[in-house]
Structure 1
Amino acid sequence: MDKNTVIREAILNGLYSQDYPGHNLLTPQLVTNQAASTIWQTIQDELQHCRHFTWAVAFITTDMLVPLKALLADLAEQGVCGTLLTGDYLGFNTPQTFAELMKIPNLTVRIVGQPGFHAKGYLFDHGDYQTAVIGSANFTCAALLQNTEWALRVSSRTDASLTRQLSGQLTALSQASQPLTAQWLAAYRAAWQPLPAAKQSAPAPVAPIAANQMQRAALASLRQLLASGAHRGLVVSATGTGKTYLGAFAVKDFQPRRFLYVVHREQIAKKTLASFRRVIGGPASDYGLLTGNRHDWGAKYLFATVQTLSQPGTLAKFAATAFDYILIDEAHRATAPSYQGLFDHFQPQFWLGMTATPERMDKQDVYALFDYHLAYEVRLKEALDAGMLAPFHYVGVQDYEQDGEVVTETTGLRYLVSDQRVRYILDQMDYYGYCGSQARGLIFCSRQEEARELAAKFSAAGHPAIALTNEDSPRRRQRAVQRLEAGNIEYIVTVDLFNEGVDIPALNQIIMLRNTQSAVVFTQQLGRGLRKFPGKGYVTVLDFIGNYQNNFLIPLALNQDTSRQADRARQEVQLPATIGVSTITFRRVAAERILQSLAAVKLDSLRELRTAYQDLHRRLGRPPLLFDFYRYGEVSPLVFAENSRLANYGEFLARMGEPVRLTTHERAVLSFLTKELVNGKRPHELVLLKLLLTAQEHQCSQEELVAALRKRGAYVSPAVLQSVDDILSLRFFAVKAGKQTRRDQYGGTPLVVHSGLVDYRLAPALAAALAAHPQFSELVNDAVDTGLALSENYDASQQFTIYQQYDRKDVCRLLNWPLDVSAPMYGYRVGEQECPIFITYRKEDDQRRNAIYNNQLENGRSLRWYTRSPRHLSSPEVQRLLATDEHGRPRVKLHLFVKRSDAVGKQFYYLGPATIQPGSVKEEQLGAKQKAAVGMELQLAQPLSVRMRRLLFEED
């Protein structure tokens, strides 16, 4: 089909009737900010495929300019440029916004002089056609990423009426505009006034403090810890995530007779006292301070500095049991001798430690102080999604390169502090900018000499900076922070000194000039600038990426990715990502360097798993279980479940030197649970097992199972209940897998016995093993609990969840087929009612059998697909595919699964149900041997999201 016909059919599909073939790129569509896609992603996609662009946008904010600058910097190398028509309507656009726009060399900015200019339109020229995105969204982070906004994306030929109307409007606006110049900006800055704050008729009443969702989860975890008889617990919560209020809620929940709060600074103690009183209430006389200046000895809620409290004369005034609840804030400091004296003296019912940075650089074990009871951990991504932190805009840029030399782990100091590299760094920092009128930045580098030299050269270039290392006294460090906050200097240059326990809310830039050795440390350094602060709308994060071996850790840390899937890590590098209204963008060369690092490492190797295991073991003080990895680990439990070198997690524990002794039957049961159910892709079997494991005499009725499934929102049908029987009886696996069936590999005996139509019970052998062997029982319960937790990632009301990954075996099970026929399935299997189709879009080897099937994505929504050969239109298999009922509806439902290439493994993305397009079915001769096959167009019921189309079908 020629391009003109494709455009015409797509327009008719969107504006006239769905009977015409649609096109993912060209069909008119409503663009919104949803979970699967945002307006910004649509604009990015258009930018990366256009030849030129013209935007008419009234309101612009500097936060959205950071990712735009990164994208336009790469497009400039391809000769792509654009024009932006904007204005000064209502004074919304700040002088800084215009100053930042002037830094973009391939963007021409013109100021529209018409009063009331309030347009919001984005036009992209693709050569023979144009695409416009027009609606309610200004170029702001909130509008393009989060708000409820509507925009219509419409494509048309360049000679179409709509295109001519748009061109006419843009021409008229351009004629009524003037170039953005330094002179215009100076005049605007002199006259500009900030928008007035909204007026309130009366002071707003102080709202009662209520726990947010994450605080409620932490409180539930603390209750569970107390109920277990524990006397110590640690909460890890990123700076700025409501740690103080969480502590107050925890104390209110406990209702202590007397409470003691300990911190290292009087200012923090005073602020915390006010916060606790707001949550707990009661008379002011209940609350007191114990500091160098104040001694409220008898207060019910006492807030003390460690310097005062730890003095021998002060401690002597308190009995060991004077307080029944003690909270140590900034608990990463609690390994110091002054805190150790408190632990030796007091005997409360419960010690609660709270910190943002438990992983100390001095290797002191904070977890051990709190009996390895990690009660709760608020992860960075969760806090950002909840709006608890200031958003950040991360840009991965390539480090300085000269004559082919790029920074590596062994690069000499002379190169790192050369005038040329310093100038390059300063230029990049200026280009991407910061929020506010002055830079307040923290720079992490590799070496102490480098820090001192960079600070000197930054200062000489007009950017006052101070170097701080571990050789500097605490007083000098504190003075440097005060000078930064006051605006006397712009930058502090340091070497891993500010990873932990430092709070500089005013920071608006984080600069990384060092190798990423640890995802944890990377996250800690990133988090230094994310506390909210008046006037700080966002933080600019610049990461200068050299040829480092550990570059692969960067996307894992940024995206909190625990999957250890190289393919997913590649996605996160190649496709710009968002977390709430934070953005993550890698420049092209920087991305290439990370991809090189990824290619050289096996993310799920036993060596990597051992490192992750040892780290979590140290944090928990015991061998971690799969569920621990789900809650706290840097590696997902799926990595263990899907590792072909491990039969089950018990085997992994044995390899780690743990005393795991299981019988042959127990190992087989654990292998079944690990390989078949832990992935959580269907909760039904797991729900039944959980009922049986916890029920008296290990039995339950079918009514109880159905009720439990419906409580989880899971679909229930006779077919799925029969499938659950087939899985847990192992009948599903009675197919050859080498010399024996997979049923034999899993022990050959059922896990669950279903008698008649009513009762389920654990098989006698399994029940006996659980009773006799506590270690086996723990591992079984752990696998079931982990699978149930992971099942939350899937829509249990459907067989398959759109855009989730499945392998052929998963599909056979979720289609409720009685046997696992995945081994001989290859590309598809036509069942009685459903047919899964598996497409590998890129064929790695032209000589391979499936390479002759050229499954092309014709229009962003339809794929040209071929049956296996030899097949003819008259073949029974083809006839079943094409059969319809008396209403013309297909008798067989098609499910489409696609992966990019064989290199990504066995998992396919589910793209949803598909239908065969009428008139597209044709018998064709394929390959050098001209074998007969039947080709047809498969149209997806749901158009692909921008991200999924780019992930699966576009060239790198």
Structure 2
Amino acid sequence: MNKINEMKAAVLNSFLDKEKYQDSATYAARLIANERQENMHDQLKYELQSCQSFTFAVAFVTEGALLDLKVWLQDLAHQGIQGRILTSTYQNFNHPKVFTELAKLPNVEVRIYQPPKQGGFHAKGYLFDHGDYQVAMIGSSNLTERALTINKEWNLRVTSHENGQLTSDLAQQIETDWEKATPLTAEWIAEYRRTWVSPFRDTKRAKIAQIGDLVAENVEAEKYATIRPNQMQAEALHQLQESRLAMKHKALVISATGTGKTYLGAFDVAAYKPKRFLFIVHREQILQKALESFHQVIGGSRDNFGIWSGNHKQNQARYLFATIQTISKEANLYQFAREEFDYILVDEAHRAGAQSYQKVLAYFQPHFLLGMTATPERSDDENIYELFDYNVAYEIRLQDALNEDMLAPFHYVGLKDYEYQGEIVDDQTPLAHLVSEERVDYVLEQSRYYGHAGEKLYGLVFVSRKEEAQKIAELLTQKGYPAQSLTGADSQEARLAAIAKLERGELAYLVTVDIFNEGIDIPFINQVIMMRQTQSAIVFVQQLGRGLRKAKGKDYLTVIDFIGNYKNNYLIPVALTGDNSRTKDGVREKVNLEPTQGISTINFTQVAKDLIFKQLEKQRNPFKQEIIDDFHELKRRLGRIPLMTDFIKNNMVEPQALLDSLSKRGNYNDFLQKIVKEEGVKLGEYENKVLDFLTQELSNGKRAQELLLLKKLLSHKKVAKKDFAEQLQKQGYLADEATLSSVERVLNLDFYTPMTIKDLTKTQRYRYGNEPFVELVAGDYQLTPTLRQALKSDSGFWKLAFDAIQAGILQAKNYQPEVKLTVNKRYKRTDVCRLLNWERQISGQNIGGYYLENQTCPIFVTYHKNEDISETIKYEDEFLSNTVMHCYTKNNRTLGKGETNKMFAGVSDGAPSNRYYLFVKESDAEGKDFLYLGECEVVKDSLRQEYRTIKGKQHPIVSYDVRLQTPVQQGFYHNLIQK
């Protein structure tokens, strides 16, 4: 279908019948309402990635929204793509600094429409020229962070041919307003700044004082209003109360930096009403602030609150705030009775493994002990969880806090690092070139371009080495950005003095080596620069957290990360998104889709993305060490060796990633014995084969029916097939005869037996024990005697088998129970054989690009093929739109003969005999998994006989189009077609 016909169909799709006219979902009009799966932020990004030019006409613009635009425009500038932005001075909404930032855009012309006194400029339109068609998005969204991400906005996306009336009207209106508008110049900005008056200056509303993540309304400066818990703190308080009702005397709360741990503790103490309370922390500087926070919440006489430290001796106070250094001294500690304090709170509890803390906690016997920390993970052998009886009452991680608006939003920009002698810096780059003037010039250029919130820069730079910090600080100072280096050699007093200088504006940057990972509160920081490799996702989050506290005049934090050819750079998206799946697919998805978190955004330039993918592809299992670390962290948290189900329940490593860390196919017991060197169990050959089957075939949860039957049979001698079918139906699972027969073939291993058996020892059936696990006897399912006997052994096999089954059931919640295949989930070719109820498993190699079996035809497309593959399989499959793909049969196929007759039976008559399913992956670098895009139909009249020239000879091949029932996800689609 040509473009004109597609657009005609799009009009009919949009305004007449969306079911009848499916051909043009790409061009059909649709509403963008900032729902979970689709927002204006992403739509702008996708259109910019594929347009030839663009024009924005928006009344209001904010710096944060511009920051994202700058990243996208960097890539567009390299392609020579130009744009225009028409904005205004309407209501004085646009801050003067916004126009300064607009002037930085290298490939964008900006003009300002200054409305007459009688009216205003309130347009909100985005126009993208794609050559022979245009896309317009018109509605309620200005170019502001909230309007593009989380506000309830209505925007209509419409497509028009270059000669369409809509395009013509819109283009004409834009040109009319453009000609009336004033070009943006430095002189214009200076004049606007001189005369600008904030529209919010005289608003008659209570002043808002932000105290950490708490917001209190202050009418009088000297009086505090009632402070109430936010939503997440309220839930944490509820869980703490539940712990005490369950007779638990210790608890740990994990709360991201800046989320109000101190206030949370104060709320709980106020509810508990202790006779005496002790607050312990490692630094005296924290005590006074903590005391004031508790007094605000608890109230009463100020004399009830006291500090006990090297400089203060108020140890008779009911609410006592002490440093560990003071209270751990024997002369001080033994002044108190062991039951003196009925409630003790340990701040920064990850330090509680130290000898001084152990001494204090061993002495006192409070009714309730609470530990609070942002980072419970430790690299040493101290188990913080054990100190608090493995009771994690509540957990607030960074991503949760951002989504709840508890922290300042951030705009992350991932850029390529400086190039030395044509190579991007890496682990081997000499120090002299890491601290060169050229590199600092490059860093400052990016810093100026991406900017910061507010008028004044308060920057924090992280580098790798002490010498690097000192030299970078010197060079920044020489270039007009006063900076000071801070390292572990500097005293606490020196650090606090440097922070004070930064806050007073005497410094623009602090340059540090890891010493600000935790414990330092610098809420006014508005720009963080990462000039070092990412060795740890935990450290990355700690450093990011330095700038996430809310502060007056700080709308957001700019994070500029210079990504080099570092071995672990793929940990960056892991840290930013909290993705602990430890899979390559998870990292690729996060980098490609750049998900928003509330109004926080993540953006990588294309070169930076390529650097991450390059490192990811270099290693067979890049997350092996992280998986081992996760295992030990979870073991500390649980107080026992974790099972696969524990990882799932704690949102950690996916079971498949655990198995992938093995050098060859195996099970979780192999992981325990070979990878983490923990005490697994000794299994017999048969038991190992059964466990291999459960973990490799079923624990991915892609079909739950086998798992649910096995779980039932572990506790019942037999299960009636009729009853089982009814139970499945009640739970929403497929329970037709074809599905149940498939389940039976899988569990009796017939599915894994080839039609022709030459060497039984090489079959899947043999690798899984060569005899059935379940048999159907007189209408009842039951475990075979061999398996039932194995489960009765004392080897620990039952526990591991049940864990593999339960892990699969938990994983199955990620899939739709009422269908065979879930759209936008990943499957291997061999998974598809089972889920489509085929009689036998077909090897992936034999399936190739498609396979016809049981009147089902899955089609597998590797979109970007390796250059070194054989010409005979280098097919040119491509998307024609987000609902139509152009495909090819295998080589040497002739239309109307042999295989093609079966494959396309009934297509020309509009009554196809087969059902078609489309699976796509970007490249072979993604491994064996394909993304399932949905059921599709072969487009009638699209079959074409073609010929390919391979090594000078003509080979017949058939091309055809398939149309999807559901359009491809925008992010996945755009990433494919743009490469």
TM-score range, shorter chain: 0.7 to 0.9
Mapped pair 1:732 → 2:771: no
Letter in 2 for 1:651: D
Distance 1:465 1:241 in 2: 29
Identity percentage over the alignment? Answer: 43
Mapped pair 1:81 → 2:82: yes
Q: Is the 8 A contact 2:908 2:941 kept in 1?
A: no
Mapped pair 1:906 → 2:918: no
Which segment is superposed worse, 436-445 or 327-336?
Answer: 327-336
| Correspondence list, 1:440-519, <5 A | 440-519=458-537
Distance 2:302 2:720 in 1: 58
Mapped pair 1:814 → 2:835: yes
Query: Which of 776, 780, 784 matches 2:805?
Result: 784
Residue 297 to residue 767, structure 1, CA distance change in 2 (3 Å): farther
Q: Residue 98 of structure 1 aligns with which residue?
A: 99
Q: 1:57 Cα shift?
A: 0.9
Q: Is the 8 A contact 1:885 1:891 kept in 2?
A: no
Query: Which of 144, 159, 165 matches 2:169?
Result: 165
Between the two proteins, the alignment pairs up a number of residues equal to 945
Residue 633 to residue 165, structure 1, CA distance change in 2 (3 Å): closer
Letter in 2 for 1:914: C
Q: 1:296 Cα shift?
A: 7.8
Q: Residue 885 of structure 2 aligns with which residue?
A: 863
Q: Residue 148 of structure 1 aligns with which residue?
A: 152
Mapped pair 1:954 → 2:977: yes
Q: Is the 8 A contact 2:28 2:158 kept in 1?
A: yes
Which segment is superposed worse, 789-798 or 422-431?
Answer: 789-798
RMSD (CA atoms): 4.1
Letter in 2 for 1:54: T
Q: Is the 8 A contact 1:211 1:249 kept in 2?
A: no
Q: Residue 673 of structure 2 aligns with which residue?
A: 654
Query: Which of 582, 602, 609 matches 1:591?
Result: 609
Q: Residue 240 of structure 1 aligns with which residue?
A: 258
Q: Residue 62 of structure 1 aligns with which residue?
A: 63
Render the CA deviation track for 1:319-347: whole Å, top value 9, x for unaligned. Answer: 33445653312113324454233123123
Distance 2:144 2:385 in 1: 42
| Correspondence list, 1:117-196, <5 A | 117-196=121-200
Distance 1:221 1:937 in 2: 59
Q: Is the 8 A contact 1:257 1:324 kept in 2?
A: yes
Task: State the SS of the aligned residue for 1:466.
Answer: strand
Normalized against structure 1, the TM-score is what? Answer: 0.88
Residue 325 to residue 717, structure 1, CA distance change in 2 (3 Å): farther
| Correspondence list, 1:705-784, <5 A | 714=733, 717-735=736-754, 739-752=761-774, 765-773=786-794, 775-784=796-805
Query: Which of 362, 384, 395 matches 2:402?
Result: 384
Render the CA deviation track for 1:772-802: whole Å, top value 9, x for unaligned. Answer: 3363343334333433333333333433222
| Correspondence list, 1:626-705, <5 A | 626-630=644-648, 635-642=653-660, 645-655=664-674, 656-660=676-680, 661-691=682-712, 695=715
Distance 1:378 1:483 in 2: 32
Letter in 2 for 1:439: L
Mapped pair 1:896 → 2:918: yes
Which segment is superposed worse, 365-374 or 902-911?
Answer: 365-374
Letter in 1 for 2:941: G
Residue 938 to residue 785, structure 1, CA distance change in 2 (3 Å): same
Residue 226 to residue 133, structure 1, CA distance change in 2 (3 Å): same
Distance 1:193 1:579 in 2: 32
Q: 1:900 Cα shift?
A: 2.4
Task: State the SS of the aligned residue for 1:511.
Answer: strand
Distance 1:351 1:20 in 2: 65
Which segment is superposed worse, 903-912 or 617-626?
Answer: 617-626
Q: Is the 8 A contact 1:545 1:551 kept in 2?
A: yes
Residue 570 to residue 133, structure 1, CA distance change in 2 (3 Å): same
Distance 1:421 1:564 in 2: 33
Render the CA deviation track for 1:408-447: whole Å, top value 9, x for unaligned. Answer: 3344443333333323222211111111221222110122
Q: Is the 8 A contact 1:64 1:139 kept in 2?
A: yes
Task: State the SS of the aligned residue for 2:881.
Answer: coil
Render the CA deviation track for 1:447-479: whole Å, top value 9, x for unaligned. Answer: 222222322333343333222111111122223
Which segment is superposed worse, 513-522 or 554-563?
Answer: 554-563
Residue 688 to residue 151, structure 1, CA distance change in 2 (3 Å): same
Q: 1:368 Cα shift?
A: 6.1
Residue 80 to residue 852, structure 1, CA distance change in 2 (3 Å): closer
Q: Residue 342 of structure 1 aligns with which residue?
A: 360
Residue 835 to residue 553, structure 1, CA distance change in 2 (3 Å): same
Query: Which of 804, 810, 823 matches 2:825?
Result: 804
Q: 1:542 Cα shift?
A: 0.5
Which segment is superposed worse, 924-933 or 941-950?
Answer: 924-933
Q: Residue 919 of structure 1 aligns with which residue?
A: 941
Query: Which of 557, 566, 572 matches 1:548?
Result: 566
Q: 1:949 Cα shift?
A: 0.8
Distance 2:723 2:239 in 1: 26
Query: Which of 518, 525, 529 matches 2:547?
Result: 529
Q: Is the 8 A contact 2:838 2:854 kept in 1?
A: no
Q: Is the 8 A contact 2:62 2:144 kept in 1?
A: yes
Which segment is superposed worse, 217-226 or 681-690?
Answer: 217-226
Render the CA deviation track for 1:88-118: whole Å, top value 9, x for unaligned. Answer: 1122211121111111122211100224111
Distance 1:333 1:191 in 2: 53
| Correspondence list, 1:107-506, <5 A | 107-114=108-115, 115-196=119-200, 212=231, 216=235, 234-244=252-262, 247=265, 260-264=278-282, 265-271=286-292, 273=294, 277=298, 291=308, 299=318, 304-306=322-324, 309-323=327-341, 326-348=344-366, 351-359=369-377, 366=384, 369-370=387-388, 377-404=395-422, 406-506=424-524
Distance 1:702 1:219 in 2: 44
Render the CA deviation track for 1:44-79: whole Å, top value 9, x for unaligned. Answer: 222222232221111111111112112212222222
Letter in 2 for 1:787: G
Gaps of 5+ in 1: none
Q: 1:40 Cα shift?
A: 2.1
Q: Is the 8 A contact 2:699 2:808 kept in 1?
A: yes
Q: 1:493 Cα shift?
A: 1.2
Q: Is the 8 A contact 1:70 1:587 kept in 2?
A: yes
Residue 727 to residue 291, structure 1, CA distance change in 2 (3 Å): farther
Q: 1:143 Cα shift?
A: 1.7
Q: Is the 8 A contact 1:233 1:353 kept in 2?
A: yes
Q: 1:705 Cα shift?
A: 6.0
Distance 1:714 1:285 in 2: 62
Residue 341 to residue 217, structure 1, CA distance change in 2 (3 Å): closer
Q: Is the 8 A contact 2:893 2:899 kept in 1?
A: no
Q: 1:84 Cα shift?
A: 0.7
Letter in 2 for 1:861: T
Q: Is the 8 A contact 1:812 1:822 kept in 2?
A: no
Residue 556 to residue 225, structure 1, CA distance change in 2 (3 Å): farther
Which segment is superposed worse, 780-789 or 708-717?
Answer: 708-717
Letter in 2 for 1:425: V
Q: Residue 221 of structure 2 aligns with which residue?
A: none
Distance 1:715 1:268 in 2: 59
Normalized against structure 2, the TM-score is what? Answer: 0.86
Letter in 1 for 2:963: Q
Residue 833 to residue 637, structure 1, CA distance change in 2 (3 Å): same
Mapped pair 1:559 → 2:580: no
